[in-house]
């Protein structure tokens, strides 16, 4: 998921440099949403893993 966020960010930067403002804005919005979804899933997984404890 982080990979797709980076891909959309790169698309947004390239579109912004070429003057496609609407496409750049949409790609940046998608990248931001994907990044926050990745961040939330990462934190939930981290908390879930830490709450299970260590089983031997």
pLDDT of 53 strictly over 90: no
Distances (CA, A) of 39 to 1, 13, 16, 51: 10, 22, 25, 18
Q: What is the pTM of this model?
A: 0.73
Looking at the structure of the chain, the number of domains it has is 1
pLDDT, tens digit, 9 for 90 and up, residues 3-47: 888 888 898 899 989 989 898 889 989 999 999 999 999 999 999
Q: Answer for the pair 41, 1: CB distance below 8 angstroms, yes or no.
A: yes
Judge whether 36 lies within some domain: yes
More confident residue, 1 or 17: 17
Judge whether 54 lies within some domain: no
Judge whether 43 lies within some domain: yes
Judge whether 9 lies within some domain: yes
Judge whether 35 lies within some domain: yes
pLDDT category, 54, cuts 50, 70, 90? low
> Tell me, what's the pLDDT at 41?
92
Judge whether 56 lies within some domain: no
Report how far residue 12's alpha carbon sits from residue 4's, in angstroms, rounded to the nearest whole number.
12
Range of the domain at 13: 2-49
């Amino acid at each position: 998921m982080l990979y797709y966020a980076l891909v959309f960010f790169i698309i947004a930067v390239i579109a912004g440099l070429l003057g496609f403002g609407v496409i750049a804005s949409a790609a940046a919005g998608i990248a931001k949403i994907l990044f926050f979804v990745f961040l939330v899933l990462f934190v939930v997984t981290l908390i879930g893993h830490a709450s299970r404890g260590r089983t031997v």
